[in-house]
Amino acid sequence: MRFLLVCALTLSGDKSPGITFSAILLIAALLSAGCSSHPQGPPGKDVMRQSEFIDLLVDMHYYEGIYTVTGSVTTTIFTPEQDTIDYYSPVFERHGVTREIFRKSLDYYSFHPPQFEMIYNRVIDELNRKLAEAEMTGREMPDTGQDGPSAQIVRRNIWDLESSYMFPGPDTNRFVSFSIPVVGLGTYTFSAQVRLKEDDIAENPRVSIWFLQDDGTEEGYIQEFRTFTLRKDGRTRQVDISSDLLHPDVTHVQGRVLDMTNRYAEGERSAEIQNIRLYYQQMPDFDER
C-alpha cells in the first residue's frame, strides 16, 4: 500500500495543517487538483447543489472507510493498482458527476466559508445518524451500491465508560484514562468531540491511544502509539484515531484524553469531551475472541 499525506482546510479557508476537518473532507481536498483562483459570485452550472454535494461526500466516506490518524496530518490509504481518481470512479458514476464537476464544486464551497461550514456540519450529522441506525440494526453500515474494498463496513462500539466529561468538574483527574479489553484482530477507532478552552492549563494538549501487548512482564509492551494534537482556542473538534491490531498477544487498547506535558502544574483544566466512542471493525478472515 502507498500512503498519501494530506493537510486539511479550515473553516475559515486558511490552509493551516494544524487544524483538521473530518476524514471525508480531507479525502475531498486530496482529489481536488488545487485552487488556481478563488471562485467568485454565484455558483456556475458545473457546481453541484449543496444537497447533492453532501450526498456525494457521505458516499465517499463509506467507500473509503479510512479515518484520521493524527491531528496535524492525515494518512489516507489507497491500493497501488488504482490512482486517486480511479479509486472513486464508482462513486462519481453512481452520482452522475465527473471529476471536473467535483473539483469545481469543492473549489467553490471551499472559498465560501459559511456554506462550507454548513456542508461540513451536514455531512457529520448524516454520518452520525446513519451510524446510530447501524448500531440499532445489527451494526451494518449502509452499502454504497458498488463493489470495492469498503463497499460494506461493519463495526461496533465497544466503549463502556462515560461518553462525556466536563472540566472542571466533580472528578479531580487532569485527563481521562481508559483501558478496554480488545475483542479481536481488526481496526480500532477512537472517536470524540473535544473542546479545549483558551484558559486551559495544558501544555502540548493531546489525545493518545495505544495497544498493550502481553510480553510476559508486569508492565506489558506498548505498540502502535498514536496521538492527536489539540488546540486551546475554544473550538470543538472531531477527533478520530485509528490503528490496526494484527498481533494476537495484545490484550487492551488504552489511552489518555486531554493528556498534557505539564501533568502536575497548578490550576484547573477547562475543557469538554463529548460523544466518546471506541469502534471495532473486524478484518476479513479474523475471528473475534
- Looking at the fold, whether 170 and 132 belong to one and the same domain comes out as no
Q: Which of 79, 105, 136 is the last residue of a domain?
A: 136
- Looking at the fold, whether 56 and 127 belong to one and the same domain comes out as yes
Q: How many domains does the chain have?
A: 2
Query: What is the pTM (predicted TM-score) of this model?
Result: 0.50
Each residue's pLDDT tens digit, 89-122? 778 888 888 888 888 888 888 888 888 888 888 8
Contacts of 285 (CB under 8 A, 6+ apart): none
The pLDDT score that the predictor gives to residue 278 is: 94
Compute the mean pLDDT over every residue in the chain, rounded to the nearest whole number. 71
Helix axes 99-110, 23-31, angle to 10 degrees: 120
- Looking at the fold, whether 9 and 70 belong to one and the same domain comes out as yes
Q: How confident is the model at residue 72 (pLDDT cuts 50, 70, 90)?
A: very low
**Cell 468538574 belongs to residue:** 169
Q: Which of helix, strand or coil describes residue 261?
A: coil
With respect to residue 149, please indicate whether it lies within any of the assigned structural domains: no
| Beta carbons within 10 angstroms of residue 111's beta carbon | 16
d(CA 98, CA 57): 14
The pLDDT score that the predictor gives to residue 45 is: 77
- Cα four-point dihedral sign 180, 223, 65, 239: positive
- Residue 180 near residue 159, CB atoms below 8 Å: yes
Q: Which residue has the higher pLDDT, 71 or 2?
A: 71
Q: What is the dihedral of CA 132, 167, 236, 63, to 10 degrees?
A: -30
With respect to residue 202, please indicate whether it lies within any of the assigned structural domains: yes
The pLDDT score that the predictor gives to residue 183 is: 92
- Looking at the fold, whether 127 and 168 belong to one and the same domain comes out as no
Q: Counting beta carbons within 10 angstroms of the beta carbon of residue 285, is it exposed (0 to 12), middle (13 to 18) or buried (19 or more)?
A: exposed
- Looking at the fold, whether 63 and 113 belong to one and the same domain comes out as yes
Q: How confident is the model at residue 123 (pLDDT cuts 50, 70, 90)?
A: confident
Which stretches within the chain are classed as H helix? 23-31, 50-64, 84-95, 99-110, 113-136
- Looking at the fold, whether 30 and 90 belong to one and the same domain comes out as yes
- Looking at the fold, whether 175 and 234 belong to one and the same domain comes out as yes
CATH number at residue 194: 2.60.120.1310
Distances (CA, A) of 284 to 141, 152, 153, 184: 15, 11, 11, 12
> Residue 193 belongs to what H/E stretch?
strand 186-196
Tell me the residue length of the chain.
289
- Looking at the fold, whether 162 and 275 belong to one and the same domain comes out as yes
The pLDDT score that the predictor gives to residue 285 is: 53
**Cell 492527536 belongs to residue:** 228
Each residue's pLDDT tens digit, 130-185? 666 655 544 444 444 444 444 445 678 999 999 998 888 765 577 889 999 999 99
Contacts of 169 (CB under 8 A, 6+ apart): none
Mean pLDDT of 44-69: 73
Each residue's pLDDT tens digit, 172-224? 577 889 999 999 998 899 999 999 998 888 888 999 999 998 877 877 888 88
Residue range of the domain that includes 179: 156-282
| C-alpha cell, 187 | 481496526
Q: What share of the chain is helix, strand, coil (3-state, %, to 5)?
A: 25, 30, 45
